[in-house]
A and B are shown apart, each in its own frame.
Chain A
Amino acid sequence: MATKLLRMEHVNKSFPGVVALNDVEFSLEAGSIHALLGENGAGKSTLIKVLTGVEKMDGGEVYLDGNEIHVTSPFDAQKKGISTVYQEVNLCPDLSVAENIFIGREPKKHGHIDWKKINEDSKELIKEFDLNLDVTKKLGAFPVAVQQMIAIARAVDIKAKILILDEPTSSLSQAEVEKLFDIMRELKKRGLGIVFVTHFLDQVYEVTDTITVLRNGGYVGTYKTDELEKPALIGKMLGKDFDSLAEISVTQREAGENPEKFIDVENAGTAKIKNVSFSLNKGEVSGLSGLLGSGRTETARLLFGADKMTEGHIKIHDKNVSIKNPLDAIRCDIAFCSENRKTEGIIGELSIMDNIIIALQAKRGLMHVVSKKEAAEIADKYIKELNIKTPSRDQKIKNLSGGNQQKVLLARWLATDPELLIMDEPTRGIDIGAKAEIQRIVVDLAKTGMSCLFISSELEEMQRCCNTMYVLRDKKIVDKLSGDNITEANIMKSIAGEGEN
């Protein structure tokens, strides 16, 4: 038997109250792409973290090229040829793009850091990803998707034997995903072993050779991708049959006869976007689609008062309102779930309960404290409803798996009982079961009169949930589709600028 590039055996890891990995095995062959799959909280990221020395394993062995290794730190892992893009983009938002790519391994010239070379090399490197941007600008100024690409570029650049990608595609759109896959295939040809974590099963079938499934911290099995049918795979991930899941398909809602207007935006603008005009009806699910940087997030932030509105008017229920900050928006019954989970969402050191009630608390005012009892009830309700995997509501949110953090953030906004729920990539990093569940919740709430503004890089998801779809290009709304006209082809057409008259 040829020696595997990487072999992990009998890996155990527990956190207080949680067994994250229980006797898990995993092996990777050189020149292959290996999917690591499982529900939110199954232990995928933890497996990666123990491999790369972020977390210390409680027990188990790791062999690289047949020799047992003990990785002591992420730096050590990198030296041994294991290059990783973690689930949460962990670059430095205050450093430039180029600095982020070269940090820790800056090229030197006469003992000094060679900035010119750094900037030139970074530019070359990201060109491979079809990114053309000013590498001297701060990383934090770019959208999450770009940051994700840069994190990948950084990892690819190191001469590695193993490349690990933990949900690298969660906020990428189709074109970027394709680009990434091209690069992955190229690396595979060069003999790298690639570990790929994702919740998009289509992507699994598109690029991977092998699949390993984890469930609840346990090892389920390793399969050849082309021998495992999708329904069977889902069954293995969820531990129950696919049929029960198929029922949760979302049916598109017909817009009501006489829709009542909820919000009317007239020529509004912030520093980042100008001349935004549109309106949303009660009970309507509207989508914003467009390419990266087309102004979707900026539009959402405008409505929520996250960026200061400098011009125009907003009317709610036909009354002029002034939204100067997020609190004003929340008090107008608007909620906004940001795409940027780590920096604009979670409050890491606080408990799940506090993270859920914080917006409700702000809405009521700091003087009217949400009682412990009420807070506990609300938290427990959403933990159950959204199936948040945690030993208790008092767990710090930063200890949850990525997908479960996302569910908590959604709970935060649902708890404020909004009339308009704005969601920027709300199902980012959420497993298929939970994704369907969230879509169902949104559609159900819309039936009771809540409006919803949905931003997602997954067109299919938008197509399923939305009654109306606004298409943005270059920070302008260029098209509005509704009902049956919301098809992938139509959207692509208007994004490209062909559908206009």
Chain B
Amino acid sequence: MKKFKNSLEIRPFLALIVILLACEVLYRVMFGDSFFKITMVDGHFYGRLIDILRNGSKYVILAIGMTMVLATAGTDISVGSVMAIAASVACSIVDERILPSLHGNVFAAVLIALLVGALCGAWNGFLVAKLNVQPIVATMILLTAGRGIAQLVSDGKIVTINSDAYYFINGGYFLGLPIPFYIALFVLVIAIILTKRTALGMAIESIGINSESSRLSGILVSKNLWVIYIFCGIMAALTGIVESAGIKGADCNNCGLLYEMDGILAVALGGTALNGGRFSFVSSALGALIVQTISTVIYAFGVTPELTKVFKALIVVIICLAQSPIFMAKLKGIFSKKGSVAA
């Protein structure tokens, strides 16, 4: 029990629960209906919670890659652009615009798109690990150039595709639950195994905390960093694929736009310190679901589009304050003072 109380996962978990409950209460008061209502149609579940699960899965995948990078005290702001590249590669292959010899094979398209993601990650890793460029600067290169590359791939056009197999990646169901959920789960499990069954997790943490000490302890810092950026690139590509399968096409200018911010936000809400050190994939996954819940909520309550950003920022501020021990201690102080005055 004590272990659970101290674990990194507890805060984002509570935050998610509180947000969801608050939504439920508000929704009932305002609309007299349940926010949690889930219906079953054709053996598939439908409802807001399912939407959160489906759309949130993208953020979960992205956040897992981002968690590793942030834990090493790095950052990757190119993920949104990598998403766009991967999406346009995958869609262009499916649409037989490029590599027509593959005849639009969805499996091959996904594989190649992931590979391209890995390549992007390798480039970032090269700059960060080998050339010692500061991560934010290093990944800024792909952030800006990435969308151009994506446009080259898709010939500057929005690629719309017509492939049920590809749609299935986002819209499909298995055992009543949406496919992206399973992809995210799979990635989560792989990431946990990769870090907990090997000493990679400890290496990542120690690099993030003190990379020179780690190097002198025999950790191959630059090799590990390289692997981590590649992994992050693959995760971004996967997110791009899921996203494009959802909108049934790739739009180089908009696919993954500002996702780097949501990815970092998810990790931060999960409680991993952005300057490196202890991390938890589960926390980040919960953080990602929080990010998605906020978006869904804003939509469900019909907040006018002009206000959504402000609204979102407001919720984030509240969550951050609730997670700050200093703020909570101050708050407690205020309340206990009031209590003693009253008594």
Contact = CB atoms under 8 A, between A and B. Distances in A.
Contacts of A350: 202, 205-206, 209
Interface stretch (A157-165, A359-367, A380-388): A359-367
B198 interface: yes
A370 B199 contact: yes
Contacts of B224: 366
A147 B212 CA distance: 18
A358 B206 CA distance: 9
A286 interface: no
Contacts of A325: 215, 220
B70 to A, nearest CB: 14
A367 B224 CA distance: 12
Interface stretch (A178-186, A212-220, A340-348): A340-348
Contacts of B218: 326-327, 330, 358-359, 362-363
Nearest to A346: B213
Nearest to A367: B198
Contacts of B219: 327, 358, 362
A336 B216 contact: yes
**Most chain B beta carbons < 10 A, residue from A359, A361, A366, A368:** A366
Nearest to A336: B216
Contact of B203 (A304, A346, A366): A366
| Secondary structure class of chain B's binding surface, majority of residues | helix
Interface in B169-220: 197-200, 202-203, 205-206, 209-210, 212-220
Interface in B210-246: 210, 212-220, 224
Given A347-B209, A350-B205, A350-B206, A326 B200 contact: no
B216 A348 contact: no
A435 B206 CA distance: 28
Interface string A314-351: 00000000000111001000001010000111111110
A366 B204 CA distance: 11
A416 to B, nearest CB: 8
B212 A358 contact: no
A327 B220 contact: yes
A345 B200 CA distance: 19
B206 A343 contact: no
A162 B10 CA distance: 46
A349 B198 CA distance: 20
A363 B215 CA distance: 12
Contact of A358 (B197, B202, B278): B202
Contact of B197 (A330, A336, A345, A369): A369
A368 B214 CA distance: 18
B287 interface: no
B198 A326 contact: no
A369 B216 contact: no
Nearest to B278: A349
B202 A306 contact: no
B125 interface: no
B217 A358 contact: yes
Contacts of B209: 347-350
A98 B200 CA distance: 41
Contacts of B213: 343-347
Interface string B99-127: 00000000000000000000000000000
A359 B217 contact: yes
Nearest to A345: B213
Contact of A361 (B197, B202, B210, B220): B202
A326 B215 CA distance: 7
B273 to A, nearest CB: 9
**Most chain A beta carbons < 10 A, residue from B198, B206, B217:** B217
Interface string A222-239: 000000000000000000
B216 A354 contact: no
Interface size class of A (residues with CB under 8 A): 20 to 34
Given A343-B210, A343-B212, A367-B198, A349 B217 contact: no
A344 B212 CA distance: 6
A407 interface: no
A347 B198 contact: no
Contacts of B214: 347, 358
**Most chain A beta carbons < 10 A, residue from B198, B202, B203, B278:** B202
A353 B215 CA distance: 18
B277 interface: yes
Contacts of B199: 361-362, 366-370
A145 B278 CA distance: 32
B75 to A, nearest CB: 18
Contacts of A343: 210, 212-213
Contacts of A359: 217-218
B260 to A, nearest CB: 25
A412 interface: yes
Nearest to A341: B213
Contacts of A354: 202, 206
B220 A346 contact: no
Nearest to B203: A366
Nearest to A369: B199
Contacts of B205: 347, 349-350
Given A326-B215, A347-B213, A347-B214, A366 B198 contact: yes
A144 to B, nearest CB: 14
B94 to A, nearest CB: 36
Contact of A326 (B197, B206, B216): B216
A362 B198 contact: no
Contacts of B202: 350, 354, 358, 361
A366 B200 contact: yes
B210 A326 contact: no
Contacts of B277: 349
Contact of B217 (A348, A370, A412): A412
A405 to B, nearest CB: 11
Contacts of A362: 199, 203, 217-219
**Most chain A beta carbons < 10 A, residue from B199, B215, B278:** B199
A349 B206 CA distance: 8
Contacts of A346: 210, 213
A347 B215 contact: no
A367 B217 CA distance: 16
20 contacts: A304-B216, A306-B215, A325-B220, A326-B216, A326-B218, A330-B218, A336-B216, A338-B216, A343-B213, A345-B216, A347-B206, A347-B209, A348-B210, A349-B205, A358-B217, A359-B217, A361-B202, A362-B199, A366-B203, A367-B198
Given A358-B214, A361-B202, 11 more contacts: A304-B216, A326-B216, A326-B218, A336-B216, A343-B213, A344-B213, A344-B216, A358-B206, A358-B219, A361-B199, A366-B203
Interface of B: 197-200, 202-203, 205-206, 209-210, 212-220, 224, 277-278
Interface of A: 304, 306, 325-327, 330, 336, 338, 343-350, 354, 358-359, 361-363, 366-370, 412
Q: Which 7 A-B pairs have the closest CB atoms?
A: A362-B218, A327-B218, A366-B199, A330-B218, A359-B217, A347-B206, A358-B217
